[in-house]
Amino acid sequence: MGQYDSLPAELRHWLARAALPWSPASALRLWRRAMHKTGCPCAACACLDAAEARLLVRDAAQVWGAGHPGLEVHFDSNGRVG
C-alpha cells in the first residue's frame, strides 16, 4: 500500500478508474514515460488510457478469439482510442 500511496495524485486517480489491475510499479513506469513525452498530466492520462485499451484488445483476442466485438476498437495516429 505504501507504493500506491507514494504515486502522483493524478496517477492514483487514473488507477482508481482503470479497467485492469495495474501494479504501482508498472503504472509508475508508464506514467513517467508519458509525462516525459507530454509534460502534461491530462495528456499522460490519455496515454495510459490508450495503453490500457491496447492491452484490453490484445487480451480479448487471446481469451475470446478474433470475433470478439471488443476488437473493433480503432486507434488514431497518436495511439488513442478513436
The residue to which cell 481469451 is assigned:
63
* Residue spans of beta strands (DSSP E) within 1-82: none
Model pLDDT, residue 1: 74
Residues 6+ apart with CB under 8 A from 39: none
pTM for the model stands at: 0.76
Where are the domains positioned within the chain? 2-72
Model pLDDT, residue 2: 86
pLDDT in tens, the chain (82 residues): 789 999 999 999 999 999 999 999 999 999 999 999 999 999 999 999 999 998 988 887 777 776 767 666 555 555 555 5
Q: Which string of DSSP letters, residue by residue, matches 23-75?
A: -HHHHHHHHHHHHHHH--HHHHHHHHHHHHHHHHHHHHHHHH-TT-GGGG--B
